[in-house]
Amino acid sequence: MLQFCEWLAATPGSIALHESLYMYPLVESAHVLTLCLFVGMSVLLDLRLLGLALRPVPLTDITRRLMPWMIAGFVVMVVTGLLLFYAIPVRSYQNVFFRLKVIFLILAGLNAWTFHRTVYRQVDQWDRDARPPGRARAAGAASLVLWACIIIAGRMIAYNWFDCDIPQSPFITWAAGCTPRAS
Amino acid sequence: MDLVAFAEWCSTTRIALAISESTWAFAVIESVHLLGLAALGGTVLVVDLRLLELGLTRHPVRVLAREVWKWQTLALAVMLATGVLLFLSEATKCYYSTPFWVKMGALLVSLAFLFTVKRRVVFAEQAPGRGVAALVAVVSLALWFTVGAGGRWIGFSG
């Protein structure tokens, strides 16, 4: 994986993006501002699942009518996120916060998948409930916490506290996957 | 006292020094600022999209606005509180940053627009006409976008 990142870092596109004066900040701004679209709307969906906001609105209204916007936001976040990784592959790969973010993203995906495979199947029975069933509320709460963790971890990637090029504790060296070669 | 002196005074307050001397404080406050951004953005978008007859169109603007208002206010409060702390810790840098002034100008106009025009339009008993609704939504989106983009650009400008 590290070898792949090193190969990626040597591609002309990666170097161009990394060194560009405007493209990198523009891609990063798009990544951050799309938070409003994707995470902002999923926060409202989660609050609805918890019975804390938009109570008069049936849940399927939110999922059906807001989903196209959320998907659009998600696509922009993924594309810009991949570009940001493409610009700085090795450092990102060996960054503990990046690794944490990927773990939280996987957990958020699993949470959404489980929700859709279980309690959402019987949504007809609780669509209009001001307070959805326990499993739906749990999924909403888990999603809120996970997305908060994803945002915090994402923001922290910018800091070099645990980078491999400065001396680290054995735990961080292991967690960040630092190698003697990369230091 | 002029503004430079005020900015310099801000960056010497105890709280500003505590933030700038700490390794984690700025990053943590900045992260919470971003959490507020996501929540604020979601609540603003849902109402503005509805004004543009997109999204949750089956429900009156008034109902949606009422349902998200509390969360929007909470998100704004979080953003303002963390924003003030971020400003204090680098007040002098902000004073010399053009994006900072663009952001503050747009923020003042956004808040004034939200709490006067937009509030009156979305909470009116009578649903707003199409043209008025669309105009309010476009102005609101443009203003908040300027605030957000300006904010992000503070970090890029030296």
Is A183 a member of any domain?
A: no
Q: Do B68 and A54 count as a contact with CB atoms less than 8 A apart?
A: yes
ipTM for the whole complex: 0.92
Q: Do B38 and A39 count as a contact with CB atoms less than 8 A apart?
A: yes
Per-residue pLDDT band at A159 (split at 50, 70, 90): very high
> Is the pLDDT score of A106 beyond 80?
yes
Q: Where are the alpha helices (DSSP H) in chain A?
A: 2-9, 12-19, 23-49, 59-87, 89-93, 96-117, 123-126, 134-156, 170-175
The tens digit of pLDDT for each residue in A12-21 reads 999 999 999 8
Scan residues 55-74 of A and list those with Cβ closer than 8 Å to B: 55-57, 61-62, 65-66, 69
Percent of chain B with pLDDT over 70: 99
> Is the pLDDT score of A183 beyond 70?
no
Is A181 a member of any domain?
A: no
Is A26 a member of any domain?
A: yes
Provide the shortest C-alpha distance from residue B3 to chain A (in Å).
29
Is A182 a member of any domain?
A: no
- Interface probe with A: pick from B67, B102, B144, most Cβ of A within 10 Å: B67
Mean pLDDT, residues B134-148: 97
**A116 token code pair:** 């859709």
Q: Do A39 and B44 count as a contact with CB atoms less than 8 A apart?
A: no
Tell which residue, A170, A167, A164, has the closest CA to residue A183: A164
Q: Rounded to whole angstroms, what are the CA distances from A18 to A26, A84, A89, A162, A176?
A: 12, 9, 10, 21, 21
| Domain ranges, ordered by start, for chain B | 3-156
Average model confidence (pLDDT) for chain A? 94
Is A180 a member of any domain?
A: no
Parent domain of A87: 2-175
Domains identified in chain A, total number: 1
